[in-house]
Amino acid sequence: MGADTVRTPSADGAGELRREQRGWYFYDWACSVYSTSVLTVFLGPYLTSVAEAAADADGYVHPLGIPVRAGAFFPYAVSLSVIVAVLAMPLVGAAADRTGRKKPLLAAAAYLGATATAAMFFLDGDRYLLGGALLVVANAAQSVATMLYNSYLPQIAPPEQRDAVSSRGWAFGYAAGSLVLVVHLVLYTGHDGFGVSESTAVRICLASAGLWWGAFALIPLRRLRDRRTTARETALPGFRQLAATVRDMRRHPLTLTFLLAYLVYNDGIQTVISQASVYGSEELGLGQSTLIGAVLLVQVLAVAGALTMGRLARTYGAKRTILGSLVAWTLTLTAGYFLPAGAPVWFFALAAGIGLVLGGSQALSRSLFSHLVPPGKEAEYFSAYEVSDRGMSWLGPLLFGVTYQLTGSYRDAIISLVAFFVIGFALLARVPVRRAIAESGNPVPDRI
């Protein structure tokens, strides 16, 4: 896309950029309900219960003849969804950069994910394989769509605005997650009054998240616009395209180092998000209402946390702010290992700690990476970035599942994730971001 990429307000006009920015925020508003209500709250415990209903006397299910503990089926399905996403994202990202037609690809991925999520209404009885298949499709589609969505950031916001724009996008997402989760909490806790069973209430919550996603995705699809580009090389299949992207990144080693750091620490963040409800229900013995309330607290505080950390980045720089958040993540996760069972007050305290750093650490990582992407390669580079983003990196859930499979303890599984934050901190601390931005061919902001 090169010269056609919008990187300053004068290229399009400030008014047009603001319109696109407002439309861009609404994709977070649309898809974050999936991340919150489906992946974080309802699907993990519910799919685990469905798998347990299908398990044999020893507590194992046998997808494709492979013995798997029922309690490990959900994290394994999450890992599989990321493998599918890894195959799809580089191919889609390269095609988007080559043609400049991101919107049709964004629409296809968003509505595939929304449809799979809405179809979770039919997940009942012992249909754990159906649940696993829908999870793989929805999660992989969400990863592809979010990669395309993220790749718009360098085009709709000049360098000095990206931390703020990225943080507002995350804040919109957490606000939507909070709003819909309140509705879901009312339905779930009062399901008898609504004349539905607990299982039906959960399935309605899952399906409604898909409908929300599809409905509000219309706003960014109307407001964002494609930037045309001259034809580039033909996209390569799957892993070959990812390998080609990584080879290109080798010409920008500091960008590659940041991506590696992000891949590691965000793997930990995403695994905590996806497995927290399972940990709370299976290890701590907390009820679904408590878990929903805790996640709601995370969502509310994450709105303030994202905006606050965006302001801190203006004073201390994005890198230092992210490093501080990784220290907070490590301390919070360690505290989670020692939480007493059946004590919702301490679980709420843990949720508050997560909420305050969750949105900001992700928003600032996204905006910082946008400075490190060479002009014209936004979607291609963000496809590599998205491998470890909200669709879930494969290593964290796999480690969580294997640790539980070997030990039978969710406490051991949760504490194993500390390594991701420690290693990620060490890698990020070594990146000289100002030099990395300059070497990628982008202007260096006054504060970064």
Separation CA 176–CA 189 (nearest Å): 20
pLDDT exceeding 70 applies to what percent of the chain?
Answer: 92
pLDDT at res. 17: 84
* Model pLDDT for residues 387-416, shown as the tens digit of each residue: 655 444 668 888 888 888 888 888 998 899
Among 1-15, 229-243, 305-319, the range with the most confident prediction by mean pLDDT is 305-319
* Per-residue pLDDT at 161 exceeds 60: yes
Tokens of 374: 């060479």
State residue 390's pLDDT score: 47
Q: What average pLDDT does this structure show over 231-239?
A: 51
User: Which has more pLDDT, 231 or 398?
Assistant: 398
Residue 241: pLDDT band by 50, 70, 90 thresholds? low
Span 352-361, average pLDDT: 85
| 125 neighbors 53 (Cβ within 8 angstroms) | yes
pLDDT at 387: 65
The listed range with the strongest mean pLDDT (202-211, 279-288, 362-371, 391-400) is 202-211
- Residue 47 structure tokens: 């799919």
Render pLDDT for 85-112 as a digit per residue (tens, 0 to 9).
Answer: 888 888 888 788 778 788 999 999 999 9
How far from the centroid of its chain's Cα atoms is residue 337's Cα? 23
Residue 5 binned pLDDT confidence (cut-offs 50, 70, 90) = very low
pLDDT tens readout for residues 419-430 = 999 999 999 999
**Confidence at 431, pLDDT banded by 50, 70, 90:** very high
| Residue count of the chain | 448
Question: To the nearest whole number, what is the mean pLDDT of the chain?
Answer: 86
| Cα 1 from Cα 227, distance rounded (Å) | 7
State the pLDDT at residue 2. Answer: 39
- For the ranges 41-50, 116-125, 161-170, 377-386, the maximum mean pLDDT occurs at 116-125
> At residue 3, does pLDDT exceed 60?
no
Nearest Cα neighbor of 138 from 33, 236, 239, 295 is 33
pLDDT band with cut points at 50, 70 and 90 for residue 231: very low
- pLDDT-derived band at 288, boundaries 50, 70, 90: confident
CB atoms inside a 10 Å sphere around CB 22: 15
